[in-house]
Structure 1
């Protein structure tokens, strides 16, 4: 319980404490999930989730992937519940790291979609206040049990994915059902495609106004880079270097010429 309290407390204070400068704290791993079996590369069937994504995710004219929550059939809601139930029965600590990574990303995204569907219609995921006192959003609510452990979205992102993989591209893979978030991809992650998809999603986001915009000689970035600066190198310069790695020629030139970030922004509107 203490570990979960620390995670929730940290997330509650992030937007206020980090705006003063470009640094944040390292996430702490939940040790039991560090176990893995390199020899067990048996794939997990994410076919149901892949089918739902292909059916309900559509990209708008601005490059934003939107999920048609209001059109999801009762049968597909049931299929999503069955899929999540199947994931909960897997002994994921007995799988190889690439299999685990795809598992946790898909689990996070599928649970997020389920939370929205269970509370739809809603204007923003932050309106789903199910995490307890002082909460804005469902991230602290325990939603699924895996290997006897009750897990919340915060656990998956901040106690498993971020600290164990230490890969900033995690932020482009997990989706918070918001316009300001990197795209919810219309394809399930697998052990084989995760690395390629994370690179694609990083490029898509950084080359969109939601990730990085330049106006009147000033750079505005997503608040993701403020909230989780540690994951991107823990300095403004490191964030700019990360952005330049995936930026197109125009944005890369602007980053080099301007050399500093003036503002950060985020749109919590539902990605429907």
Structure 2
């Protein structure tokens, strides 16, 4: 159990603590290996073959999860903490998909929203420093609560078209800010997420859901954030925008690839020859 003595209402408060002098760097190469293993790159948007996570590959994922659960995250510096929480969050979502392949297409019900989390997001699926956590706990009780910068929103993997995550690189403390900034620019550039009509802008629900908790329910703060990471013509258009539309939209279309019919029969090929080898340490 954690030595941090807190009441139930403040059980997540321990992760407000960090050690700026701490130089320990967790090994997040396994996250990149997992992402690279399941990602089918596309110019439009990457898709994910969760069915590949069988046998040795699934054990690799579980070994990395166990490694993360043993790290004293409250003792890390702030950037390492952010990289840690994003990787753990994304790993848990991928694990859910891998263990529930037939339900991957119904992610909207399984995820729900921050205000009304679905079953997958409510379940306690990990234990960090003696505290049982759900995916929603990591999002709302850790990231939203202890990080003022909204950039972390773009690092959350949901496995659907509307999410802000892309690529095959796990987060590291050394590059987490620049990594998230790149994801933010790519997200905001996409008209499916940020659409401008005259002096108004329609925003993705990824931002709208978190308007109150992350942007203090301040429309101008949210608008300023979007403008700060807009580039090119989108930045010029946003310069004259002063109204955010009240209706938000989110693309729930799953990015899960359908497994080939012979995948079960050929599972040994995935398990033995393709699975990455975990060397994370303890």
Distance 2:30 2:111 in 1: 28
What is the match of residue 254 of structure 2? 270
- Structure 2: where are the runs of 5+ without partners? 1-6, 257-282
1:144 maps onto 2:126 in alignment: yes
1:95 maps onto 2:79 in alignment: no
Deviation, 1:141, is: 0.7
What is the match of residue 261 of structure 1? 244
With over 3 angstroms needed to count, the CA separation of the structure-2 counterparts of 1:141 and 1:207, relative to structure 1, is same
Q: Deviations over 1:123-169 (max 9, x none)?
A: 03234489xxx863411110011111101111111111122121100
Distance 1:37 1:114 in 2: 30
What is the match of residue 186 of structure 2? 204
After TM superposition, the structure 1 = structure 2 runs for residues 54-133 of structure 1, keeping only pairs within 5 Å, are 54-62=36-44, 64-121=45-102, 122-128=104-110
Distance 1:2 1:44 in 2: 28
Which of 146, 151, 155 is equivalent to 1:164? 146
Compute the RMSD of aligned alpha carbons.
2.4
Instruction: Count residues with an aligned counterpart.
Output: 244
SS in 2 for 1:90: coil
- Structure 1: where are the runs of 5+ without partners? 4-27
What is the match of residue 43 of structure 1? 25
Aligned 8 A contact 2:41 2:47 in 1: yes
With over 3 angstroms needed to count, the CA separation of the structure-2 counterparts of 1:58 and 1:214, relative to structure 1, is farther
Q: Which has the larger radius of gyration?
A: 2
